[in-house]
């Protein structure tokens, strides 16, 4: 019992990114094992997102935990840990959960609306896109360490967005629509919290009047030489200005 209690305790203390990573690794292993028994088609039909969504509605979530290759899985996990940890350090962990799953759901909707009926969708790209675009708005100058070099996050994100733009222009890349849905989810979530940027308005300068200039001159003279240095005319002017206030 102590062993199981220890496992429960350790799982309970995992953060969101770690839990998602464990689920993805386990699903990846099961998916690869399905090839040995020639059940990969059944596995994908059951859990991947396709036009048969109404027959397996759970696929709107489950497709995000399936990855075709080890490179896709590792790259997704790197971006997941980076984005979740960066956002959690600034705003807490709860918001990363919302961003991830809202991104997946909206990405799924975009895929179903714009993709070919014969295509299927797997992978957590929409959820990752939601996290990344939110982090871009939140902290664009966040620095990342690559070996001996520091690079700002906004430049890395520019490369990712440019790559997605090229994929959008390529025929048959229907998975990119899920990325777009994820980007929109993260963007909407950010501005729903912080609001739309206000247009910069140049402050209006008010030209001082002659009376203001005279008042400033008298006050400056008092600060330099004292009240007794004023002429009777200056004292009378200052007295009248005081009565007007």
DSSP the chain: -HHHHHHHHHHHT--HHHHHHHHHHHHHHHHHHHHHTT-HHHHHHHHSB-TTTTT-TTHHHHGGG--SSHHHHHHHHHHHHHHHHHHHHHH-SHHHHHHHHHHHHHHHHHHHHHS-TT--B-SSHHHHHHHHHHHHHH-TT-EEEETTEEEEHHHHHHHHHHHHHHHHHSTT-TTHHHHHHHHHHHHHHHHHHH-PPPPP-PPPPPPPPHHHHHHHHHHHHHHHH-GGGS-HHHHHHHHHHHHH-
pLDDT at 137: 93
- In this structure, what token pair is assigned to residue 210? 């002659």
pLDDT in tens, 82-127: 999 999 988 889 999 999 999 999 999 999 998 876 889 999 999 9
Per-residue confidence (pLDDT) for residue 143, from 0 to 100 = 86
C-alpha–C-alpha distance, residues 243 and 245, integer Å: 5
pLDDT value of residue 93: 92
Q: Is 192 exposed, middle or buried (0-12, 13-18, 19+ CB in 10 A)?
A: exposed
This prediction has a pTM of 0.76
Domain with CATH 1.20.1540.10 in the chain: 2-194
pLDDT at 1: 46
Could you read off the pLDDT of 173-188 as tens digits, one per residue? 889 999 999 999 999 9
Point out the residues of the chain with pLDDT beneath 70: 1-11, 117, 197-213, 215-230, 235, 237-245
Q: What is the CATH number of domain 2-194?
A: 1.20.1540.10
Token pair of 234, please? Answer: 């200056």
Give the pLDDT confidence score for residue 13 in this predicted structure. 83
């Amino acid at each position: 019992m102590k062993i199981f209690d220890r496992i429960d305790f350790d799982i309970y203390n995992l953060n969101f990114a770690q839990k998602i990573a464990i689920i993805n690794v386990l699903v990846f292993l099961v998916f690869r094992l399905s090839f040995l028994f020639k059940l990969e088609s059944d596995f994908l039909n059951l859990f991947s997102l396709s036009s048969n969504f109404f027959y397996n509605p759970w696929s709107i979530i489950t497709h995000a935990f399936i990855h075709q290759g080890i490179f896709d899985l590792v790259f997704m996990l790197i971006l997941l840990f980076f984005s979740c940890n960066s956002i959690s350090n600034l705003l807490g962990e709860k918001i990363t959960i919302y961003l991830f799953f809202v991104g997946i759901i909206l990405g799924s909707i975009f895929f179903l609306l714009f993709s070919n009926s014969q295509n299927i969708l797997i992978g957590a790209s929409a959820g990752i896109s939601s996290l990344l675009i939110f982090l871009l708005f939140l902290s664009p100058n966040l620095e990342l360490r690559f070996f001996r070099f520091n690079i700002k996050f906004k430049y890395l994100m520019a490369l990712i967005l440019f790559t997605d733009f090229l994929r959008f222009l390529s025929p048959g890349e229907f998975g990119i629509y899920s990325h777009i849905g994820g980007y929109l989810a993260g963007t909407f979530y950010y501005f729903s919290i912080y609001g739309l940027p206000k247009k910069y308005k140049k402050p209006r300068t008010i030209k001082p009047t002659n009376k203001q200039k005279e008042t400033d001159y008298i006050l400056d003279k008092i600060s330099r030489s004292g009240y007794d240095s004023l002429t009777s005319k200056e004292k009378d002017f200052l007295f009248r200005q005081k009565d007007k206030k």
